[in-house]
Structure 1
Amino acid sequence: MSSTMAGILFIGSLLLALALCYKPLGDYMFRVYTGTRHNAVERLTYRLLGVNADSEQRWGFYARGVLAFSVLSILFLYGLQRLQDHLFLSLGMEAVEPSLAWNTAVSFVTNTNWQAYSGEATMGHVVQTAGLAVQNFVSAAVGMAVAIALVRGFARNKTDTLGNFWVDLVRGTIRILLPIAFVAALLLVAGGAIQTFADHSTWTTLTGGEQTFTPAAAASQEAIKDLGTNGGGIFNVNSAHPFENPTSWTNWLTIFLLTVIASCLPRTFGRMVGDNRQGYAIVSVMAIISFGVTQWAELSASGTVPQAIGQALEGRETRFGVSNSGMFATATTLTSTGSVNSFHDSYTAVGGGMLIFNMLLGEVAPGGVGAGLYGMLILAVITVFVAGLMVGRTPEYLGKKIGPLTSEVLRARG
């Protein structure tokens, strides 16, 4: 009963915190993406990029900007890994071999964050921070930019422009991701996560042996890893490592970071289309899908060994226990984040099955930053299209009629 109550309190406090952030953060992101003024840092960035920040782009130019930036990001991250042995603060690490470097570059730029390496044994400080952590920021910002461009398509009339990709990218990074991640990193450091660029150190174990430890700037990378629904932990066991995720309350914080932006973007959507009820409808669907079954399955302790000890602890970090691990697993699979604090293959049959079901949902409850919103909007369009066919009416969503996209329309829209 105590474990069940702890789980209920953990989920309840998390949902309350997300609810309290829904309106202020959603409204703030609305102002970020609809404002016309640029701050000094943004103006300098646009000048360096050679971008006219006051110009609008049609969908073709916007899409080409997304693709061009992604290709350059892949090449940069690949090159950084291949040149690691020539970089300072490399901790003596060799260059990452070509296939692994390419895998990692594509993975991080696409916000997939498939991690086929042990971080502390493969990459030094520069690749971790200037490479992987930077991609954690900008890949998340790209996802948010794509979602906002789609929302502008629903919200605007009598125009064929969707905003400016470079402005959306820079603003999402500087005004949203960086401030939140900075505060989160400070909180993680206060909770015991490490943040250092020191060299290797050797410790004496309790049995008298020696163990070499690779330090890292873990707190700053953990913050954006979770906030941007990215993944790719510095240490091999990811967020189960005490230097990345030290305590129960830092575990609560990381789950909050995983879900907060995706949960508040529906409010931004509602503000941009001029109907907050649309935002409430989307976030309500996200919330209904999201929580409960995995926690129930793990706390019910089905199976011989779990029943004998009262809970399914295999594959869990004892600092967190069943409830905190189950909540983290639910959040990370629903947001498609490559961050874990427990081994999913050791979950109960029903609990593990729910985690697989979460992955099959396709990032909509609440989904990754940006990806959750545009995924849900795509489902909404499909729904009204099918419903329209069933009743014999022209499908319409938010005042936009859904019809065939002819070659003449494509030429007219660029």
Structure 2
Amino acid sequence: MSAAAAGWLQVGLLVLALALVHRPLGDAMARAFSTDPPLPPKARSRRNSGGHWRVERLVYRAVGVDADAEQRWPTYLRSVLAFSLVSVLFLYLLQRVQQWLPLGNGMPAVEQGSSWNTAVSFVTNTNWQGYAGESTMGHLVQMAGLAVQNFLSAAVGLAVAVALVRGFARTRTDRLGNAWVDITRAVTRILLPLSVLAAVVLVLGGVVQNLGSGTEATTLSGATQFLPGGPVASQEAIKQLGTNGGGFFNANSAHPFEGPSAWISLFEVFLMLAVPFSLPRTFGRLVGDRRQGYAILGVMATLASASLALTSWAQARAGGAALQLAGAATEGQEVRFGGPLSALFGTATTLTSTGAVNSLHDSYTPAGGLLTMFDMMLGEVAPGGVGSGLYGMLVLAVIAVFVAGLMVGRTPEYLGKKLGRREMTLASLYVLATPAIVLVGTAVAMSVDAGRSSMLNDGPHGLSEVLYAFTSAANNNGSAFAGLSADTPFYNVALGLAMAFGRFLPIVFVLALAGRLAAQGRTPVTAGTLPTHRPLFVGLLAAVVLVVVGLTYFPVLSLGPLAEGLS
């Protein structure tokens, strides 16, 4: 089978699998986050007490919260921020005392700057790694620290997305739900069960899962090689399912213990996309109009298809005699996977907030590298990260409706909610926050010796490496152009700040917007109301994503990957 035919087959199988899980998974998430009134005491079973599972009630009791009390948006926000701050401190401490912990494999304490960077990285769902996992982290830190945060950071994204959806669905209330309940249910009812199933599949496919420190093996030439082991499959499952991305090994999903075969690599792409592509169904169910979910899904699918087609074309049509003889730009690619699957994986990991890689993005063609960067610059909304992709797309939908309202001279409305000055201010701040972090961070790094000294390349490609790093950090992706030596005091601090601000500033604006929307009544639909479930709106929203968000970065892209490609 030719590479092109194999690529078409892989894409077809992926689309079929996503179509099969879209409805049941979307409906399951809608049920998990539905906030029905608590059951009366006599109707409560041992397993379901007032709508809460027994294990969930144990969590609420340990945290000390009333699970049946809903929160206003400032309280919801404080809960999310407090939970994340405690998570950062716990993960930082765990790394600093690693040498005294069991299952440490003799690893010393992680250096302070790297510990800070890693703690912020995993709590913000970025999973940027400036270190080699197999030679830096012991098994306990990998399991109790990194893997646990893979669950919790993804759950925070789901909780914030659901809070915004409730803002659209509810009327004349100042309550958005309970952050502790939403985070707990995201783990117990969605992420944990799915991760167990995914881990079983990964183990059956050859992904390593043990608690051994490693094995000394004798090669065919008689030399000795150390083969590291560890609980890889369990971490790989939630790494992909929660759009996290941190690899157990330095080679990430290209490592034969993380990605032992092409079908496992394709399965990992499916895991990245399953929850984000099913969330529009959840959105449609919760707002009571499934057509609205299909419209959001249509925009996501359109942007994803265009990105995959362009990236595959850029890699397959590489210039130069050597690349054309090879059939594609194959430098930095795992030969077991080939060009089409590498392009598919690279597109999926940058369109979501995953950041896992099975090929080296730094070795892509200038156009291919630009596209992976541009995927993140769009805000990772096609389909985006777990939760973050949906709430990002809904904010952009608000802006699209506002633009349409300006065209016809009518007060903009979305799902029956009027979009006035305050709502548009919050939406605009959301859109501007991440580009500001990326561009300011890149400018500072390029203007100081500490930032330039880590660049292994100069010229446009060197700028691209720095730009990619801050784009990845601020958009909470985690992938990298490997030519930048980022495990330095400057980049540990700078990228850590970019990750923190890039995660929590947008969350502030999203929850404030949700509070404003929930407090409104519902405007009746009239003949002048813009239909937001039809192809016209799908096209308008896709255009807004490309123009309002993507073109913000055009000047700096023209100095980096565009200049490199034209040179």
TM-score range, shorter chain: over 0.9
> Residue by residue, what CA displacement relative to the aligned partner does 1:190-249 show, whole Å, maximum 9, x if unpaired?
000000111232222222222223211000000000101101101110000010111111
Q: Distance in 1 between matches of 2:66 and 2:208?
A: 40
Per the alignment, do residues 67 and 131 of structure 1 end up closer, same or farther by CA in structure 2, a change over 3 Å counting?
A: same
Q: Residue 339 of structure 1 corresponds to which residue in structure 2?
A: 356
Once the 2 structures are TM-superposed, how far is the Cα of residue 182 of structure 1 from its aligned partner?
0.5
Which amino acid counterpart does residue 16 of structure 2 have in structure 1? L
Q: Distance in 2 between matches of 1:272 and 1:23?
A: 14
In the alignment, what sits opposite 2:385? 368
- Identify the residue that residue 4 of structure 2 maps to in structure 1: 4
Per-residue displacement from partner, 1:145-186 (whole Å, max 9, x unpaired)? 000000000000121100000000000001100011111101
Which amino acid in the other structure matches residue 275 of structure 1?
D
Q: Which amino acid aligns with 2:391?
A: Y
In structure 1, C-alpha distance between the alignment counterparts of 2:106 and 2:257, rounded to whole Å: 21
CA displacement at 1:296 relative to structure 2:
2.5
Which amino acid in the other structure matches residue 415 of structure 2? L
The equivalences for 1:86-125 within 5 A come to 86-125=100-139
- Check whether the contact 2:206–2:260 (CA below 8 A) recurs between aligned residues: yes
Aligned residues of 2:214 and 2:230 also touching (Cα < 8 A): no
Matched to 1:330, the amino acid is: T
Asked whether the 8 Å contact 2:35–2:177 carries over to 1, the reply is: no
CA contact (8 A) 1:3 1:299 kept: no
1:158 alignment partner in structure 2: 172
> Are the aligned partners of 1:91 and 1:200 in contact in 2 as well (CA < 8 Å)?
no
**Residue 212 of structure 1: SS of its match in structure 2?**
strand
Unaligned runs of 5+ in 1: none
Quick one: distance in 2 between partners of 1:197 and 1:182?
17
Which AA in structure 2 matches 1:5? A
Q: Which residue of 1 aligns with 2:21?
A: 21
Matching residue of 1:85 = 99
Partner of 2:259 in structure 1? 245
TM-score (norm 2): 0.71
The amino acid across from 2:223 in the alignment is: G
**Percentage of matched positions with identical amino acids:** 61
Q: Is the 8 A contact 2:191 2:242 kept in 1?
A: yes
Q: Distance in 2 between matches of 1:301 and 1:192?
A: 33
TM-fit CA distance, 1:268 = 0.4
Secondary structure of the residue aligned to 1:232 is: coil
**Is the aligned partner of 1:30 residue 2:44?**
no
Once residues 376 and 304 of structure 1 are traced to their aligned partners in structure 2, the CA distance between those partners, rounded to angstroms, is 42
Task: Name the CA distance, whole Å, in 2 between partners of 1:86 and 1:213.
Answer: 24
Question: Given the alignment, which residue of 323, 348, 351 partners 1:306?
Answer: 323
Q: Give the aligned partner of residue 542 of structure 2.
A: none
Letter in 2 for 1:23: R
- Structure 2: which amino acid aligns with 1:349? P
Instruction: Give CA-to-partner distance per residue, 1:48-67, whole Å, 9 cap, x none.
Output: 11111111101010000000
Secondary structure of the residue that 1:221 maps to in structure 2? helix
1:281 equivalent in alignment to 2:286: no
User: Relative to 1, partners in 2 of residues 1:69 and 1:203: Cα closer, same or farther, differing over 3 Å?
Assistant: same
Cα distance in 1 between the residues matched to 2:220 and 2:134: 22
**1:19-39, CA deviations, whole angstroms, 9 ceiling, x for partnerless residues?**
121111111100000054111
Alpha-carbon offset, residue 113 of structure 1: 1.0
Over the aligned positions, Cα root-mean-square deviation in angstroms equals: 1.7
1:401 alignment partner in structure 2: 418
Name the TM-score, length of structure 1 as normaliser.
Answer: 0.96
Please report how far the alpha carbon of residue 322 of structure 1 lies from its aligned counterpart in structure 2 after TM superposition. 0.8
Amino acid at match of 1:329: G
Q: Does residue 70 of structure 2 align to residue 53 of structure 1?
A: no
SS in 1 for 2:217: strand
> Which deviates more, 274-283 or 308-317?
308-317
Range with bigger deviation, 332-341 or 307-316:
307-316
- Specify which of 55, 59, 64 is matched with residue 78 of structure 2: 64
Structure 2: runs of 5 or more not aligned: 37-50, 424-511, 520-567
Structure 1 residues 108-162: Cα deviation after superposition (integer angstroms, max 9, x where no partner) = 1011111100000000000000000000000000001000000000000121100
Paired position in structure 1 for 2:162: 148
Task: Judge conservation of contact 2:210–2:231 (CA < 8 Å) in 1.
Answer: yes
Count of paired positions: 411
Following superposition, the deviation at residue 298 of structure 1 comes to: 2.1
C-alpha contact 1:32 1:171 (8 A) present in aligned 2: yes
Q: Which residue of 2 aligns with 1:296?
A: 313
